[in-house]
Structure 1
């Protein structure tokens, strides 16, 4: 007797011909430069559809503006789930916006998948089984910098400029925890609100602290302002910059490339400005995608690489789902990624998840800006925060 063909299973948002994916991003407001991520993802799904879709199903990507405002994020998430009836929400951007919808998404049992934030709270399968991050979490990033400082600059005096929200607090905690009993190396810190028109007074205060090492943990606009002000003051600290703000196009150019020289940050994705990837097959595939599907996109904008790699991860999960396009199976497959790699992840960095590990990317490599391009150096490092948040 022949085995019967496995039944197709669908939840709202999936059918024989379509997979409906929801998203919101800040197309307007203080961090609108991040909207490039959603635009790149939309372009990538267009490419997938042009090539026949996923298991013959086309992706219908519905993306709304939340202006980086939590109340608006709640409104857009409800619209996507209740009116558009999407199968899942993919890569919604921003720590505060995702914090605002997390309980709702889990109550509705709709995947909040590959969240566009590195806050550790988005990797807690026990409390929030329908929410999963994607990028390295902010605490890991802070620990990686701390390891580097302890090894190379054990007598550093550190000043920290941080965004007054969960992302800034998370990064700061990672740095402090990573420094351990040497946390007293932090001699000053100042926070800012993402809506602040100017951050000059905070930077002046941090310079006056006598620190020789400076951390900027801010969104792109705040980081660009900080780099520019440090340059204007003629202050020459060792400068560490949050990974989310390393875009040459949207941060370093507006700040003045001369002011950004010698800044250190961390990477898990290839940077298009680095000549090392000039003839790299993966980078070439990304370039031809940009030329064909997102020609108006800026290839020096790191957000295009991020959006491309995140979309590839989403496509991999949907491929693994086969004909079982239920929300439950989407989460099951998202928690079953084994050594998956986008062509734009740095060599040696792999995506791995399990039922108890909702942090897909946990490795990074340090990099330095030479005034024109970023160059990675040293080994691939893990900043594993150990255990899981909430424990």
Structure 2
């Protein structure tokens, strides 16, 4: 009897030990992940020439506070570590090194801007640290062959520019085009994209292409040069500050071209209000997301969830800001990826899950817009829709445009 009880006790202990061992074996962690925490690193231009983007970081931090209040990711709290890089590449390099080597984050998330992302891309890929959903849209951020650890979030600038070129050929075939572009990969991809869209007519139709530096105090002189070149269609391939300046200056000098502005500079609150809503009337751009305060979405469940989130977790934030809606969408996507990782929170699995998204639909996605990725195609958004600003809000027009072909 005593021997039987002893054998039973030993068997029970072994069973428990094996169960605990099996449970531990199922969990895989790289630096930055544990049973209780997932460390996510981010640099953000909380100051400097692109500080209009700062609300993106504030909204994302608020979103992860909401997720943590809801229990986190399988009980793990998201620890978002944020540093200011002032939109300065050298500062971004310094801060990202700190995130990786001192804070030991699992991944970097939503670093903002082409210059900053480009400055740290080789370093992060060499370290095999995910540069996930980078807030940059140059071709180099959707290039899995050369940069397998970098996956950009924003629609590709080259493809967006190509769409504008094709639109111009259809609707403004006799246009004399002037292009204002940022003098880096961000702007050059737009310039090359619109030329690709115009095809063999690009040389004849583009009468001026003028660059600006991020550090330039204004773009007034560039706008004047484009006007003086005889342009009657103005493509503003710029970030928010310079786009607002260009729209405002165009009105001040009494110039009234057809105006197309990059998707990255379409925020009503951060770009069009500073430029003057009346000055922005008639602007053309593209989008993939809903305008949260547009009356057509007042009964939309996803928009209602976004507005409720803003009310509770970021009450001081502008509910109508494209930047805040953008941040909500990308934070929601990262949450989905981390949930898909399960208990395998290795950097390799984070990239695997991010590169195998299937028909993901965010709360604020326009009808017909889904996110799909593969190991050979890192582009998230392959569908866009044209829109026009009516002086109060953006109005969609035309069909969903499919851009599923080659990226560049």
Q: Which TM-score band applies after superposition, normalised by the shorter structure?
A: over 0.9
Other-structure match for 2:181: 162
Other-structure match for 1:83: 102
Match of 1:361 among 371, 378, 381: 381
Distance 1:368 1:272 in 2: 16
User: C-alpha displacement at 1:364, in angstroms?
Assistant: 0.8
1:144 partnered with 2:163: yes
Match of 1:275 among 289, 292, 295: 295
**Given that residues 140 and 384 in structure 1 are in contact (C-alpha distance below 8 angstroms), is that contact kept between their aligned partners in structure 2?**
no
1:333 partnered with 2:353: yes
Other-structure match for 1:28: 47
1:226-375 correspondence to structure 2 within 5 Å: 226-375=246-395
RMSD: 1.4
Distance 1:385 1:213 in 2: 27
Per-residue CA deviations over 1:82-119 (Å, capped at 9, x if unaligned) read 00000000111110100000010011110000000111
Structure 1 runs of 4+ with >6 Å offset: none
**Given that residues 365 and 376 in structure 1 are in contact (C-alpha distance below 8 angstroms), is that contact kept between their aligned partners in structure 2?**
yes
Per-residue CA deviations over 1:183-231 (Å, capped at 9, x if unaligned) read 1211111111111112111111111122111101111110000000111
Match of 2:397 among 372, 377, 380: 377
User: C-alpha displacement at 1:384, in angstroms?
Assistant: 4.2
> Larger helix proportion, structure 1 or 2?
2
**Given that residues 140 and 385 in structure 1 are in contact (C-alpha distance below 8 angstroms), is that contact kept between their aligned partners in structure 2?**
no
Distance 2:247 2:293 in 1: 19
User: C-alpha displacement at 1:291, in angstroms?
Assistant: 0.2
TM-score normalised by the chain length of structure 1: 0.97
Highest relative contact order (Cα 8 Å, sep 6+), 1 or 2?
A: 1
1:105 partnered with 2:128: no
Other-structure match for 2:9: none
**Given that residues 139 and 385 in structure 1 are in contact (C-alpha distance below 8 angstroms), is that contact kept between their aligned partners in structure 2?**
no
Structure 1 unmatched ranges of 5 or more: none
Structure 2 unmatched ranges of 5 or more: 1-14
**Given that residues 365 and 380 in structure 1 are in contact (C-alpha distance below 8 angstroms), is that contact kept between their aligned partners in structure 2?**
yes
Per-residue CA deviations over 1:342-368 (Å, capped at 9, x if unaligned) read 111111111100110111112110100
Match of 1:55 among 50, 67, 74: 74
Other-structure match for 1:209: 229
Distance 1:70 1:160 in 2: 25
Other-structure match for 1:172: 191
Distance 2:54 2:156 in 1: 20
Match of 2:111 among 92, 116, 123: 92
Cα–Cα, structure 1 residues 385 and 203, in superposed 2: closer, same or farther, change >3 Å?
Answer: farther
Distance 2:297 2:191 in 1: 32
Other-structure match for 1:223: 243
**Given that residues 312 and 342 in structure 1 are in contact (C-alpha distance below 8 angstroms), is that contact kept between their aligned partners in structure 2?**
yes
Give aligned pairs, total: 388
User: Secondary structure of 1:353's match?
Assistant: coil
Other-structure match for 2:12: none
**Which of the two has higher C-alpha Rg?**
2
User: C-alpha displacement at 1:7, in angstroms?
Assistant: 1.2
Match of 1:13 among 18, 22, 32: 32
User: Secondary structure of 1:114's match?
Assistant: strand
